[in-house]
Structure 1
Amino acid sequence: MTDALRRRVEAWLATRHCDGNESEDIAMTTRRALLAAPLALPALARGAAAQGSWPERSVSVLLGYPPGGVTDFAARAVSERMGRALGQSVVLENRPGAATAVANTAAAQARPDGYTLLMGTSTLAINPALQPSLTPRDPQTELTPIGTVFRTAFVLHVHASLPVRSTAELIAYAKANPGKLNFGSSGTGAVNHLCLELFRARAGIDVVHVPYRGGAPALIDLRTNRIQAMFSAAQEALPPMRDGATRGLAVSSKERMQVLPDLPPVADTLPGFDGVFWQGLFGPASLPAPIVARAGAALREATTDATLVARMAEQGVALTPGDADALRRTLAEETVMWGQLIREQNIRPE
């Protein structure tokens, strides 16, 4: 504060007097605030400048899955392209464990400076109901949505010996043979397991859930007819379908998949059915708006890259450019949807 300005403030304060509605303490607080406010301006300016120049060094993006697989591939490819757009390296860090809670928690507890972000997935909408002891307990308030990355449907396929060729025929067969169909999944609480539970509830059928530790061992048993059906990720379902070991009936999304255009949605038989796996970019709570905007713009540039869009489509993955509001809606809607299903079906972790 300049001397002239200080003298003017002092002179104005000297004219102030306390009436019945103003205590000496309030007057003193006002005096201190007025005199100190200009001193805070340089700090505020430095903070705004820091946000405006973000990023000034490399950015870490956490992922709750191990290397390999479509989730890792997509996150790594998108991070690389974001780095090009931002002019700084964006490094993917795999931190698997505790149903992705290891990575989720680390991101939620990071400083909100934009240098630690999270490639969050559908588990953020599932964990609060399935495993409420895991952190973050409320991702909707403990994380800041930045933008959507991708969504991918599952393929409902059956062993080739099963005498069904459509979703309607599968439902009819299950009703005629209650408790005799074994449905595999990559684990209790996985999105493909929840698709099965949604399918079972909507169709009103009695089938046996057989959880595995991952999709690969489940597919081995599907090939050998130890289990008869499964919702599988497209890139996992394609090989056994192509060699005739399994038969594709439908996809779990409301829309058809580019890689399997002949397969109709389950929703054609069970209206409103929609179960997909998604990925989105998040930051810690209170991430400044300018950083959210800049990171979101870089993410959109990455997810609209024509080469990457084509490569991901071949894997059955649809890149879905969307802003923070779109991701916030997805998380909110699926937290309600999966939470309701988990409670109604009394699903418990293994």
Structure 2
Amino acid sequence: MPTRRAALTLPWALPLLAPTLAGAQEAYPSRAISVVSGYAPGGVTDVTSRAVAERMGRELAVPMVVENRVGAATAVANTAVAQARPDGYTLLMGTSTLAINPGLQPSLTPKEPLRDLAPIGMVFRTAFVLHVHPDVPARSTAELIAWCKANPGKLNFGSSGTGAVNHLALALFAQAAGIEVTHIPYRGGAPALLDLRAGRIQAMFQAVLEALPTLADNATRGLAISSAERSALLPDIPPVAETLPGFDVVFWQGLFAPAGTPAPVLARAGAALRAATEDAALRARLAEQGVVLTTGDAAMLHRTLAEETARWGKLIQEAGIRPE
């Protein structure tokens, strides 16, 4: 009689193993899943992460618990997941910072997110509105560009921090338009908005939801949307791309697992994510906060990360952007 080890090498033994392996794959998930976020509780990113995770948990029939691990431009959260066991029980709500950090702060880990993380699918995209203080005479993107060319360096353009997506939107805007402005970085969008309202800075790319109150009371004037498509919350404001073709800048979020996670596990998590992003009630609720849930598979997320890593790395180098 052959030993167990010998039997497992025989061709006729393989069909006997197949049901066992399939059963192990079908068992996922059998316990709670940790979803790591690099952002503090309460913000749009955190609120969206929790809403999507809750909906995914219902689809998977297990709790999905969001853990906020803040620090080092989200590198704390990103690294925790990249180094986690690749079994599908530790996932990452990764964002645009995964594409920015390698060019801006190459010492941060993971140094190669495309290698160290496995994409599962897109979660959302959210645009910025280019708005200005009422003292700025421009009433369109073209007029703003013309004013800046006539007054080089005189426009104080705020951002929520050096290397933030809205700062890179500004750098790309200035490069594409051939203008010179003065960048004023802040520690977050809120203090920048206060100074924009007060006229201490004159312009800013701001998250649509954050800008809505100031636009509504005419404390600022909206000129353009940073995405290629219009915002449902500001349908009358045209995209920058209508003046600068090809301009398309958004903050995005996607779901990742550690590299090496089995394909069936990634597929199961991806199906649950798709169910969440296609949920009409959830889409409507988050749209009220300026978040457009985006249904996109692992290939789309991989492509987005690859393209933006190259795009932002090139811009950071050309513009000489350095971390604060």
Normalised to the residue count of structure 1, the TM-score between the two structures is 0.88
Partner of 1:256: 230
- CA deviations on 1:258-279 (whole Å, 9 max, x unpaired) are 1111111001000101111000
1:247 is the counterpart of 2:221: yes
1:149 alignment counterpart: 123
Deviations along 1:107-149, whole A, 9 cap, x unmatched? 0000011110000000001101111100000000100000000
Q: 1:215 is matched with which residue?
A: 189
> What one-letter code is carried by the residue in structure 2 that aligns with 1:202?
A
Partner of residue 173 from structure 2, selected from 196, 199, 222: 199
The whole-number CA distance in structure 1 between the counterparts of 2:258 and 2:21 is 17
2:101 matches 1:115: no
The amino acid of 1:56's aligned partner reads: S
Which residue number in structure 1 is paired with residue 160 of structure 2? 186
CA separation of 1:264 and 1:304: change in aligned 2, threshold 3 A: same
3-state SS, counterpart of residue 287 of structure 1: coil
**Corresponding residue for residue 243 of structure 2:** 269
Deviation at 1:37, TM superposition (A): 3.3
Equivalent residue, structure 1, for 2:320: 346
Deviations 1:204-255 (A, max 9, x none): 1110000000000000000000000000000111010001100000000011
Shift of 1:161: 1.7
Match of 2:274 in 1: 300
In 1, Cα distance between equivalents of 2:240 and 2:8: 64
State the shift of 1:50 in Å.
2.7
Distance in 1 between the 2:68 and 2:128 partners?
24
Unaligned runs of 5+ in 2: none
Which residue in 1 is equivalent to 2:147?
173
CA distance in 2, matches of 1:132, 1:249: 34
Q: What is the identity percentage for the equivalent residue pairs of Structure 1 and Structure 2?
A: 69
> Which of the two has higher C-alpha Rg?
1
Q: Displacement of 1:178 after TM fit?
A: 0.9
> Aligned to 2:118, what secondary structure does the other structure show?
strand
Residue of 58, 62, 72 corresponding to 1:84: 58
Q: Could you tell me which residue of structure 2 aligns to residue 24 of structure 1?
A: none
Cα distance, 1:57 vs. partner? 0.5
SS state at 2:295 partner: strand
1:164 aligns with 2:99: no
Paired letter, 1:183: F
Which secondary structure does the structure 1 equivalent of 2:316 belong to? helix
Partner residue, 1:135:
109
Q: 1:71 aligns with which of 23, 45, 67?
A: 45
CA 109–44 in structure 1, closer or farther in 2 if over 3 Å, else same: farther
Q: Aligned partner of 2:268: which letter?
A: R
Alignment match, 2:72: 98
1:237 to 211, 222, 228: 211
* Structure 1 position 312, deviation (Å): 1.7
Question: What is the distance in 1 between the residues matched to 2:81 and 2:18?
Answer: 25
Shift of 1:47: 5.4
Shift of 1:179: 1.0
1:37 maps to 2:3: no
Aligned residue in 2 for 1:225: 199
1:264-300 CA-partner distances (Å, limit 9, x unpaired): 1001000101111000000000110111111001001
Unaligned runs of 5+ in 1: 7-32
Residue in 2 that maps onto 1:285: 259
Aligned length: 322
Question: After superposition, where does 1:300-339 map in structure 2 within 5 Å?
Answer: 300-339=274-313
SS of corresponding position for 2:294: strand
1:159-215 CA distances to partner (integer Å, 9 max, x unpaired)? 012111100000011111111100000000000000000001001111000000000
Given the two structures, how large is their TM-score scaled by the length of structure 2?
0.95
CA deviations 1:37-87 (Å, max 9, x no partner) are 36x979887555333211110000000000011111111100000000000
Q: Which amino acid aligns with 2:165?
A: V
In angstroms, what is the RMSD of aligned CA positions?
A: 1.9
Letter in 1 for 2:102: P
